[in-house]
Amino acid sequence: MMRFAAALLGLFLLASAPSFRLATPGYQWHFPADDFVHPNYSTEWWYFTGNLHSVGGRQYGFELTYFRVSPAPDTPLGRQLYFTHFTITDVAGHRFLLHTRARRGNWQQAGIKPIAGGFELWNENWQADFDASGPRHLHAVWADMNLDLALAPGPRMLNGINGWSQKGPSPGQASYYYSFPHISVQGSVLGAPVQGLTWMDHEFATNQLAADQQGWDWMGLHLPQGDLMLFNLRLTDGARDPHSAGTWRPRTGPQVALTASDFQMTPLRRWHDYPIAWRVSIPRLNLHFEVQPLLDGQEVRDPAIGVNYWEGAVWISTGGEGYLELTGYGKRFGLLQTSPD
């Protein structure tokens, strides 16, 4: 009887233990509130990538990405983990500059805080400021790297089914995912006055990838006809996952959700393990083009979390530019298989 009672108590404690929420269909979005943090999900990021041009014709790319990771359910924001990746691609200088930071909120070195009219993502002296319209300012400095940009965001774009982006077959293998695909920017990079376009992704989820998924290939592209996001999920056996998907927002007309059957991404050339050049075909949209890197060596290495991936500025054969992300090459990308319990 004592053992039976102990077993019942154990089951009760397990059932009543706090758990992360899962990304399931039917989320009700409320903006600008949903630009802010969602601490009941294990992982969240605000992801900025941009293509910039100086008056003198120099081209630059940049990435400034803020990750929030909760080590356990109900962990206060002030004790969660914050990772930030900062890169600048100097095309004419043939340079890829990189610095990463891993900080704990309880050391008061990084976090997310309300400010007048909005909120701020910060990691020491790197900041991303938001107001009710979305992201408004980016600032980051490290050694000879510097970036200071004023942002004018366009409308938000919900990806997947009303912002629910399915990544795998099981419940919760998904994220809540929206983008600011078309943000006009001006400011300075490496001390040079620049202007151009930035893309921002915001995702939050728990355990969103399946165990048999190796990684993904993602593109955020500014074409003359509109803005395009594609992600190609790869399985550990080399096959393509049927949950690969995308979103097309034309300059005029309604947004189009794309499924795996709507598009093909074919590798054309590799740099080390990474397929950095691609042929893209979307017959239903009559879009066919190649994506080529502005610089081959745009690999991000973060020793703090043991992750390497390729993230770089690209140009499009039919006109336009954007960013390409490649994960799970050489080593399976396993950081997003957090247990929901």
Q: What is the domain-level CATH number for residue 73?
A: 2.40.370.10
- In a domain, residue 27? The reply is no
pLDDT of residue 339: 43
Domain that holds residue 125: 43-326
SS3 at position 10: helix
pLDDT at 325 over 70: yes
Paired tokens of 70: 């909760």
- In a domain, residue 304? The reply is yes
- Kindly state the average pLDDT of the residues 53-70: 96
Beta strands of 190-255 (E only): which ranges? 192-205, 213-223, 226-235, 245-250
- In a domain, residue 102? The reply is yes
- In a domain, residue 174? The reply is yes
Q: Given pLDDT bands bounded at 50, 70 and 90, which one contains residue 138?
A: very high
Residue 196 CB neighbours (<10 A): 22
CA distances (Å), origin 243, targets 42, 78, 174, 334? 21, 35, 10, 17
CA distances (Å), origin 150, targets 34, 119, 193, 239, 270? 21, 15, 12, 42, 35
Q: What is the DSSP string of 99-148?
A: EEEEEEGGGTSEEEEEETTEEEEEETTEEEEEETTEEEEEEEEETTEEEE
Residue with tokens 């290495």: 301
d(CA 68, CA 105): 10
Characterise 133 by phi-psi region: left (phi > 0), alpha (psi -120 to 50), beta (else): alpha
d(CA 167, CA 243): 6
pTM: 0.91
- In a domain, residue 74? The reply is yes
Answer with the residue of higher pLDDT: 108 or 12: 108
SS3 at position 14: helix
- Residue 184 pairs with which residues in a beta bridge? 152, 197
pLDDT at 277 over 50: yes
pLDDT at 154 over 50: yes
pLDDT tens digits, one per residue of 87-99: 999 999 999 999 9
- Residue 213 pairs with which residues in a beta bridge? 235
CB environment 55-66: b (16+ within 10 A), e (fewer): eeebbbbbbbbb
**Total structural domains within the chain:** 1
SS3 at position 173: coil
Q: Given pLDDT bands bounded at 50, 70 and 90, which one contains residue 209?
A: confident
- In a domain, residue 210? The reply is yes
d(CA 121, CA 129): 7
pLDDT of residue 335: 58
Characterise 108 by phi-psi region: left (phi > 0), alpha (psi -120 to 50), beta (else): left
**What does the mean pLDDT of the chain come to?**
91
pLDDT of residue 305: 78
SS3 at position 11: helix
pLDDT of residue 306: 81
SS3 at position 284: helix
pLDDT at 28 over 70: yes
Q: What's 170's DSSP letter?
A: S
pLDDT of residue 336: 57
At a CB cut-off of 8 Å and minimum separation 6, what does 326 contact? 215, 217, 218, 274, 275, 276, 309, 310, 311
- In a domain, residue 322? The reply is yes
Which candidate, 62, 61, 89, places its Cα nearest to that of 297?
89
Q: Is 43 in contact with 338 (CB distance < 8 Å)? A: yes
Report the run of H or E that residue 55 belongs to, with start and end: none
Q: Is 151 in contact with 135 (CB distance < 8 Å)? A: yes
pLDDT of residue 35: 98
- Kindly state the average pLDDT of the residues 37-49: 96
d(CA 52, CA 313): 10
Q: Which amino acid is at 135?
A: P
pLDDT of residue 16: 38
- Kindly state the average pLDDT of the residues 143-150: 97
- In a domain, residue 7? The reply is no
d(CA 171, CA 22): 8
